[in-house]
Chain A
Amino acid sequence: MLKSGLLRIFLTTIFFAGVNLANAAEPIKIGTFLSITGPASFLGDPELKTLQMVVEDFNAKGGLNGRKIELVHYDTGGNAREALNFVKRLIRKDQVDVIVGGTTSGDTLAVMPEVEKAGISLISLAGAVEIIEPVRKWVFKVAHTDRMAAAKIFEDLKKRHLTKVALITGDGGFDKSGRAQILELAPEYGITLVADESYSNKDTDMTAPLTKIRATDAQAIINFGFGQAPAIVTKNIKQLGIDLPVYQSHGVASKTFIDLAGEAAEGVRLPAAALVVAEQLPDTDPQKPVLLAYKKEYEAKHGAVSTFGGHAYDGVMIAAEAIKRAGGTDKTQVRDEIEKTSGFIGTAGIFHMTPEDHMGLNLDAFKMVEIRDGGWKIVE
């Protein structure tokens, strides 16, 4: 009797030890769905490269909590329908532990009901403020919001005593969301919008709406968009000889924009993450070493950094740190730990998340930069 009891305990111990070993060997799965092709590919491409780079680094150092990390990624092509299908696949089929991604706001907004239902943390890399307002239990984001961009532009306008502004935006999700924020915030900063023009993101010439703007008494032009369109707008402004300060959004904070717009880009101002001006930061800035380290590693492998890859770095690092603190991949614990992220120094700024704020960045995270001599210059 005693013997069989001991035997049973012995066997049970071996069994559970075996289960634990199996658990330890199983990789931590991070899922992602990005717009690697399609109109937002210049956002999605550096994001994927960054995620792969960070995961490789972790695995080279022995993984996380002694477990390797596996990255499961899908390309949505910027199509919200695909995004939702892939997220379902990540959750049900690949059974990932946490999802980092959603290059565009459209992709992220599409999958939010699904992640809420499934109960899995999602760290979005997209901009729209609707992602975190109202706060949803499982959804976080690491990219600056369009509202912050609008506020930053208005602050700069106020400093320059410019009050009459012409707005021109495209028909994409990012453009429309940005436009809404600008219209909403303008009265707070005492700014009057004297024009509110629009174009299609597929247009190859925007002189018609710009001619209308030229006829107004605007003191500055704000263009909110990403991709080729803002570059064309910037060029057309120059061609029409409109001599007004031009503001772009953080959506063009990549070298590609300067290359596309060429000389017309000179003097254009935009709010951007500190990443693009890392070298110009004072040495006392706590972000500087993080930025330079990421920049050095990324540029050694893939060429010029963009802030979008930086968002992916922030997202995956916040997820990794949360998993480390949670000591495992229990979904609820990981979520709670992500929400407790405080003082994490990322490329977009220093994150202080709370139950009421699932992004945790303030306006200081943005730098107002001006394009000078084909490069970025801080102007504050």
Chain B
Amino acid sequence: MRLAGFFVFAVAVILLPILFPDNYFVTVVGIAAGLHVILAVGLNLLMGYAGQISLGHAAFFGMGGYASAILTTRWEWPGWLAMLAGLLVAGTIAWLLARPILRLRGHYLAMATLGFGVIIHVLMVQATEWTGGPDGLGNIPPLNLLGWTVDSDRQWYWVIAVAMLLVIGLSLNLVDSRIGRALRAVRSAELAAQMMGIDTARAKTQVFVVSALFAAFAGSLFAHQQAFVSPDSFSLMISVELVTMVVLGGMASTFGAACGAIALTLLHEGLVVFEDYEMLIHGALLMAVMIFLPQGLFVGLTQGVHRGWTWIASRRGAKEPHHPAVS
């Protein structure tokens, strides 16, 4: 029952390309949305559950992307090995960085993570010999998984869908585990958590590393899927967009983050037709959501539906309905 939402979501993800096999919004936008979901769900572990902000998450995304790009084009490593290397690099850096950086709180943490993101971005632009500089690296070979080459949009959809479901499943389990409870305790009151015997520094480090690993994983997939990486894809703006996704969807809810990621990706695609007014409408919509649904799109709407349901039920004089799982 706890995973009911997960199965509904999985069925929807599987049915979409079967019902609409050549729909642009499924096979092209869907892939972008899937990658954003992985990133947002990872960031949500850190932001939503542990209550730590990160304005430099695109850096880990970029590490995965560039690791795959550089290792597969320059040294012709197989894709999966390059991906592992990317995970290793991002994980190690996150681990080394976590203790000093997560001692900071609030604005200071925001500044520190922002600085980290900018440093990595500058490295991507300036280390031309390795990264190709501002023009980026192209001709990244398609991903090869056990002899199966992932090349077409449809194949990519499946790969990203599986990766996304894996990340969501992991995240749901993590949140409901001992670590997840420790994280929520850290968010509510760090001092109280310490009093309860929780090693808060360790808990925060763990979640930071997991979050970075998810981002690097998405980065590797992104690099192969686009066959091209450039610093533009890992800039400060992307970090900010990721934070927006988490907040828009609803913090401390895995499906909230996923919903925010999908909503923002679709919104961007849908508003393109308005050309010059795109950013205007985009901003206005975000403001409206934050004013009227401060808990976020997903959490706010599910609560609204739940409240409506209770109201109807009470009018009918029926029993209190079963609470749907919001996780």
Contacts and interface: CB of A to CB of B under 8 A. Distances in A.
Given A80-B232, A89-B272, A173 B139 contact: no
B275 interface: yes
Contacts of A172: 134
A79 interface: yes
Contacts of A109: 135-136, 138, 228, 230
B230 A110 contact: yes
A307 to B, nearest CB: 21
B89 to A, nearest CB: 22
Nearest to A118: B153
A110 B136 contact: yes
A301 interface: no
Interface in A155-212: 171-173, 176-177
A89 B24 contact: yes
The listed residue with most B CB atoms (<10 A of its CB), out of A89, A110, A113, A177, is A110
B125 interface: yes
A114 B140 CA distance: 11
A177 B135 contact: yes
Nearest to A74: B272
B226 A84 contact: yes
A88 interface: yes
A173 B135 contact: yes
Interface in B105-162: 125-126, 128, 133-136, 138-140, 151, 153
Contacts of A79: 232
Contacts of A74: 272
A147 to B, nearest CB: 15
Contacts of A112: 138, 228
A110 B228 contact: yes
B22 to A, nearest CB: 8
A75 B275 contact: yes
B168 interface: no
A93 B27 CA distance: 11
A173 B134 CA distance: 5
A120 to B, nearest CB: 15
A128 B135 CA distance: 10
B211 interface: no
A315 interface: no
A106 B228 contact: no
Nearest to A128: B135
A106 B232 contact: yes
- Bin chain B's interface residue count: 20 to 34
A302 interface: no
A203 to B, nearest CB: 14
Interface residues of A, number: 29
Contact of B228 (A75, A93, A113): A113
Contacts of A75: 275
Contacts of A92: 24, 27-28, 153
A85 B128 CA distance: 24
A8 interface: no
B164 to A, nearest CB: 19
A113 B135 contact: no
A176 B133 contact: yes
Nearest to B227: A113
Interface string A82-95: 10111011001100
A32 interface: no
Contact of B227 (A85, A93, A114, A176): A114
A68 to B, nearest CB: 20
Contacts of B228: 80, 84, 109-114
Contacts of B230: 80-81, 106, 109-110
A93 B275 CA distance: 17
Q: Which of B126, B139, B153, B228 has the most CB of A within 10 A?
A: B228
A130 B126 CA distance: 19
Contacts of A171: 125-126, 134
A226 B76 CA distance: 35
Interface in B258-304: 269, 272, 275
A93 B22 CA distance: 10
B283 to A, nearest CB: 15
Nearest to B128: A176
Contacts of A103: none
Contacts of B153: 92
B135 A106 contact: yes
B127 to A, nearest CB: 12
B32 interface: yes
B28 A176 contact: no
B122 to A, nearest CB: 9
Interface string A125-158: 0001010000000000000000000000000000
A121 interface: no
Interface in B215-244: 226-228, 230, 232-233
Nearest to B152: A117
A91 B291 CA distance: 38
Contact of B135 (A88, A93, A105, A117): A105
A170 to B, nearest CB: 10
A80 B138 contact: no
A81 B233 contact: yes
B142 to A, nearest CB: 9
A117 B155 CA distance: 14
Contacts of B136: 80, 106, 109-110
A133 B135 CA distance: 15
A80 B233 contact: yes
Given A74-B272, A80-B232, A88-B28, A176 B138 contact: no
Contacts of B272: 74, 86, 89
Going nearest first, the 9 A-B pairs with the smallest beta carbon separation are A113-B227, A93-B24, A173-B134, A173-B135, A80-B230, A80-B232, A81-B233, A92-B24, A81-B232
Interface of A: 74-75, 79-82, 84-86, 88-89, 92-93, 105-106, 109-114, 117, 128, 130, 171-173, 176-177
Given A109-B135, A113-B139, A113-B228, 14 more contacts: A80-B135, A81-B230, A81-B233, A84-B226, A86-B272, A89-B24, A89-B28, A89-B269, A92-B153, A106-B135, A109-B230, A113-B227, A171-B125, A173-B135
26 contacts: A74-B272, A75-B275, A79-B232, A80-B135, A81-B233, A82-B232, A84-B226, A89-B24, A89-B28, A89-B269, A92-B27, A93-B28, A109-B138, A109-B230, A110-B138, A110-B230, A110-B232, A111-B228, A112-B228, A114-B227, A172-B134, A173-B133, A176-B128, A176-B133, A176-B134, A176-B135
